[in-house]
Amino acid sequence: MAADSSGTVQVLVVDDEEPIRNALKKFLAQQQFEVYAAGSGEEALQQLRRHRISLMLCDIRMPGTSGVDLVPQAIEIEPELAILMLTAVNDATSAALCMQRGAMDYLTKPIELADLGRAVQRALKRREMLLENRHLNQWLKEEVTTRTAELHRERQKLERISVATLEALVNALEAKDPYMRGHSARVADLSATIAHQVGLSDEEVEQVRVAGRLHDIGKIGTREAVLNKEGALTPDEFEHVKQHVLIGSQILAPLVHLGDIISAVRGHHERWDGTGYPDGLRGEQIPMAARILGAAEVYDALSTSRAYQEKLTPEQAIQRLADLSGTVIDPTVYDALATIVGRRGTLVFLDEGGGAAT
């Protein structure tokens, strides 16, 4: 709140009736405010120029400059001014007009002192919040101006911060299942490598990496009994599991800056031949990031130990994926993955115990 050098909040009472003016001034002084008074709009403007007023209580009906006309003039002098209007019972229309012009609230005469006290505190609190927002906005503008050269890096930093909690949730979810532990991290790293191999930009590669970290966030909504089931899923259970891509995209939807990451999470179980889910997209209708995630996830499933299967070597996994190229997997993505595996000879992943395995 704006205050004088002593720290006291300054209030201005504007009313052409001296008894009301004095009564309001006495009450507010008892509330530890420093109170000034004006009997007209012209006098009020002089007081506003002379003092750092935080709150103005203003009558609507006054000779000369009315309260309705005083409001915008007062705000022009003191843009941070909180204004409470005092109105007669039959003058609600004028009070509403004052609020359209910048007043915060109005009280109907005769005024109960308890109501006045609460209204004053509400107005000052709202003013304080508006000031904080204004100061924050000003700070943000200054930061943008002085850090334009760093904007791209800062944006990436903010994106990482915004998804950190969701990544922690994914890690906590996977930690419950020794076979799934580290799955999203592995898929993210492999997907980013594939994205680079197919020629995506550095920014797009980073988006694919983030999408990989978050691609199974929707499994938070999948029943644990289904997640942990070792045998084949029933049709109903499979339909339940398929919902995780929709749940995931809904969880991420409020983070609008994620953009294409959300569509990648939604579409990572689409198939090249159009038989995937949830939307039955075909071929290049499927976002490239989703196609990459889908291939990386299948590779990870084949090349890591699962309750229902032994893990394959990287070469064996690539051979198995060759049968899926052109039906489940985008052939271009398969070729990139095969190139990566062939170049490395093997892909080093985090094993179930947290160490390195080949």
User: What letter would DSSP give residue 273?
Assistant: T
Q: Is residue 44 part of a domain?
A: yes
User: What's this model's pTM, rounded to 2 decimal places?
Assistant: 0.54
Poorest-pLDDT segment among 173-187, 198-212, 339-353? 339-353
Percent of the chain topping pLDDT 90: 50
Given 146, 166, 187, the domain boundary residue is 146
Structure tokens at 162: 């915004």
- 200 & 102 share domain: no
Confidence of residue 110 (pLDDT cuts 50, 70, 90): confident
Confidence of residue 260 (pLDDT cuts 50, 70, 90): very high
**What average pLDDT is seen over the chain?**
86
CATH code at position 21: 3.40.50.2300
Greater pLDDT, 65 or 352: 65
Specify the length of the chain in residues.
Answer: 358
Q: What is the largest CA-CA distance in the chain?
A: 94
- Which pLDDT does position 347 carry in this prediction? 44
User: What letter would DSSP give residue 332?
Assistant: H
CATH code at position 207: 1.10.3210.10
- 229 & 295 share domain: yes
Confidence of residue 147 (pLDDT cuts 50, 70, 90): low
- 52 & 74 share domain: yes
Q: How many domains does the structure of the chain reveal? A: 2
Matching residue, tokens 């003039």: 73
Distance of CA 171 to the CA centre of its chain: 21
Pairing of strands 356-357, 349-350: antiparallel
Whole-number Å distance between alpha carbons of 234 and 228: 13
Whole-number Å distance between alpha carbons of 160 and 191: 17
Do 215 and 236 contact (CB within 8 A), yes or no? Answer: no
Q: Is residue 4 part of a domain?
A: no
Select, from the ranges 98-102, 113-117, 285-289, 339-343, the one with the highest average predicted confidence (pLDDT): 285-289
Given 100, 115, 146, the domain boundary residue is 146
- 54 & 190 share domain: no
Q: Is residue 3 part of a domain?
A: no
List the domain range (segments joined by +) for residue 18.
10-146
- 189 & 121 share domain: no
Q: What is the pLDDT of residues 297-354, one digit of tens each?
A: 999 989 887 666 678 989 999 999 999 999 999 999 999 999 999 887 644 544 444 4
- Which pLDDT does position 145 carry in this prediction? 75
Whole-number Å distance between alpha carbons of 172 and 11: 54
- 67 & 160 share domain: no
Q: Is residue 1 part of a domain?
A: no
Structure tokens at 254: 């409020």
- 43 & 105 share domain: yes
- Which pLDDT does position 106 carry in this prediction? 86
User: What letter would DSSP give residue 12?
Assistant: E
Poorest-pLDDT segment among 85-99, 284-298, 327-341? 85-99
- Which pLDDT does position 353 carry in this prediction? 42
- 47 & 133 share domain: yes
Q: Is residue 57 part of a domain?
A: yes
- Which pLDDT does position 3 carry in this prediction? 54
Do 77 and 83 contact (CB within 8 A), yes or no? Answer: no
- 113 & 165 share domain: no
- 226 & 328 share domain: yes
Given 91, 113, 146, the domain boundary residue is 146
- 168 & 71 share domain: no
- 158 & 137 share domain: no
Please give the positions annotated as active site: 219
Q: Is residue 243 part of a domain?
A: yes
Whole-number Å distance between alpha carbons of 113 and 111: 6
Poorest-pLDDT segment among 92-101, 128-137, 169-178, 231-240? 169-178
